[in-house]
């Protein structure tokens, strides 16, 4: 199981968990988070979001084309491992959301 902290404008908003590789994901807002939602499709009041595929919002943060190819080659990441790709670019995403891997 992989985990990543999700930050909005530098404030911890929640945690993204890959429960089963490339199959099950869960994002949950931190109980004390009272900032804006990380996405309009993920309102804070709902708190927990379950997915049977990589969550669309987080997929939108991933590079494409030549930038993706460079990321995969440089970091030796499997093309199908979206979670690893997100961790690799997480500190430098477009917009207010940043991602940091939780190492346990």
Taking alpha carbons only, the member of 71, 91, 92, 94 closest to residue 82 is: 71
DSSP bridge pairs for 12? 7
Q: How far apart are CA 76 and CA 90, in angstroms?
A: 16
Taking alpha carbons only, the member of 50, 3, 48 closest to residue 30 is: 48
Write the pLDDT tens digit of every residue in 83-99: 999 999 998 887 899 99
Show the tokens assigned to 102.
Answer: 């939780």
Q: What is the DSSP string of 3-66?
A: EEEEEETTEEEEEEEEEETTTEEEEEE-TT--S--SBTTB-GGG-EEEESSS-HHHHTTS--HH
How much is the pTM? 0.92
Write the pLDDT tens digit of every residue in 6-49: 999 999 999 999 998 878 999 999 999 999 999 999 999 999 99
The domain limits of the chain are 2-102
């Amino acid at each position: 199981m992989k985990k990543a902290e999700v930050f909005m404008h530098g404030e911890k908003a929640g945690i993204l968990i890959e429960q089963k590789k490339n199959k099950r994901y869960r994002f949950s807002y931190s109980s004390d988070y009272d900032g804006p939602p990380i996405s309009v499709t993920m309102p804070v009041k709902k708190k927990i979001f379950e997915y049977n595929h990589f969550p669309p919002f987080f997929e939108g943060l991933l590079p494409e084309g030549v930038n993706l190819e460079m990321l995969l080659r440089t970091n030796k990441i499997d093309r199908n491992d979206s979670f690893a790709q997100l961790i690799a670019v997480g500190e430098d995403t477009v917009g207010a959301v940043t991602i940091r891997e939780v190492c346990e």
